[in-house]
Amino acid sequence: MTIKTFRGITPTLGQDVWVDDSAVLIGDVVIGDDSSVWPLVSIRGDMHSIRIGKRTSIQDNSCLHITHASEFKPEGHPLSIGDDVTVGHMAMLHGCQIGSRVLVGMGTTILDGAIVEDEVIIGAGSLVPPGKVLESGFLYMGSPVKQVRALKQSEIDYFQYAGLNYVKLKDEYLADAQANDC
């Protein structure tokens, strides 16, 4: 993995975090315990903060960035992601807030100032426009994203399963890495 200090701030990893060797983390990035960052992920906290919760999986080729402070947006937009979130392959998360127990589908783009509340599923390939709020307990799909229906109990139950499944997988990667370091 590549961890770069920028403006005197170095990314911070919680306990038992897996970051693939090909991932890049820059600047003001904090990743919570038991989370995982998979191949070719870019997490760039160079001009604002990025916070990733516990048991959260950021999957292959995803790009995480912020909106810097400027005359157009004086406070900018940090990026925050809650606990037990699965971010699918090739997602683009830019200066948004994502709650806990969320599934971000593959190839989804979530833009500046968007808020995704807890317990939301966003279908693959969706676009969440700037400032859009996705209400808890619903499936959203489309470009731009639209509320499709309430989540089923089985889908709500899946959030915990998905989070723990990726914890198990990253633990295997950590164990394998330790075994190969001997």
Q: From CA 23, how far away is CA 27, in angstroms rounded?
A: 14
What lies within 8 Å, CB to CB, of 137 at 6+ separation is 119, 120, 150, 151, 156
Number of domains into which the chain is organized? 1
Query: Quick one: how far is CA 152 from the chain centroid?
Result: 23
What lies within 8 Å, CB to CB, of 64 at 6+ separation is 41, 42, 43, 44, 50, 52, 58, 79, 81, 93, 94
Q: From CA 66, how far away is CA 57, in angstroms rounded?
A: 18
What pLDDT, on a 0 to 100 scale, did the predictor assign at position 69?
83
Amino acid occupying residue 127: L
Better-predicted residue by pLDDT, 149 or 75: 149
Query: Quick one: how far is CA 70 from the chain centroid?
Result: 24
> What CATH number corresponds to the domain at position 161?
2.160.10.10
pTM of the predicted protein model: 0.95
Query: Quick one: how far is CA 97 from the chain centroid?
Result: 10
Give the mean pLDDT of 22-37: 98
Residue span of the structural domain in which 153 resides: 2-181
For residue range 92-148, what is the model confidence (pLDDT) as tens digits? 999 999 999 999 999 999 999 999 999 999 999 999 999 999 999 999 999 999 999
Asked whether residue 182 carries a pLDDT value surpassing 70, the answer given is: no
Q: From CA 75, how far away is CA 134, in angstroms rounded?
A: 22
For residue range 53-97, what is the model confidence (pLDDT) as tens digits? 999 999 999 999 999 888 888 888 999 999 999 999 999 999 999
